[in-house]
């Protein structure tokens, strides 16, 4: 079995409040984005999107496309914003933005092993 780094199972995400007061969140590893009214709602919305996206990808008949669909990284500007937020948080517990990690949800399909 191939060695798989644990970091491959972690999805990096961030959220920040926009000028209109709504929260905007991004899953960097899958290039998914959502908008919501509250911080908690944006995390839940992104988590639901991640689960739905991965289930859809894994359900495809085009198995050759799965690796590319699971490595659909966000643009560099979003990664820069993520690390900027992490830096601000580490310096002074900045509360207007946040980062979080989600673990890739998966089920073992014993029948196909």
- Collapsed DSSP state (helix, strand, coil) of residue 28: coil
Please provide the average confidence, as pLDDT, over all residues in the chain: 80
Q: Determine contact, residues 13/30, Cβ cutoff 8 Å.
A: no
Q: What is the mean pLDDT of residues 46-64?
A: 88
pLDDT at residue 7 in the model: 57
8 A C-beta contact, residue 13 and residue 27: yes
* CA gap 73, 104 in Å, rounded: 15
Does the pLDDT value for residue 96 go beyond 90?
no
Q: Which residues contact 43 (CB under 8 A, 6 or more apart)?
A: 13, 15, 25, 100
pLDDT single digits (tens) 21-49? 999 999 999 999 999 999 899 999 998 99
In the predicted model, is pLDDT for residue 84 greater than 90? no
> Is the pLDDT reported for residue 110 higher than 60?
no
The model carries a pTM of 0.75
Q: Which residue has the higher pLDDT, 49 or 70?
A: 49
Q: How much of the chain exceeds pLDDT 90, in percent?
A: 33
Smallest Cα–Cα separation from 42: which of 110, 2, 100?
100
Instruction: Give residue 5's pLDDT band: very low, low, confident or very high (50, 70, 90).
Output: low
């Amino acid at each position: 079995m191939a060695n798989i780094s644990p970091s491959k199972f972690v999805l990096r995400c961030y959220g920040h409040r926009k000028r209109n007061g709504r929260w905007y969140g991004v899953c960097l590893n899958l290039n998914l984005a959502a908008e919501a009214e509250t911080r908690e709602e944006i995390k839940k919305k992104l988590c639901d999107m991640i689960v739905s996206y991965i289930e859809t990808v894994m359900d495809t008949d085009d198995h050759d496309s799965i690796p590319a669909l699971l490595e659909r990284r966000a643009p560099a500007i979003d990664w820069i914003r993520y690390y900027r937020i992490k830096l601000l948080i580490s310096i002074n517990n900045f509360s207007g933005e946040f980062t979080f990690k989600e673990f890739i949800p998966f089920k073992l399909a014993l029948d196909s092993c």
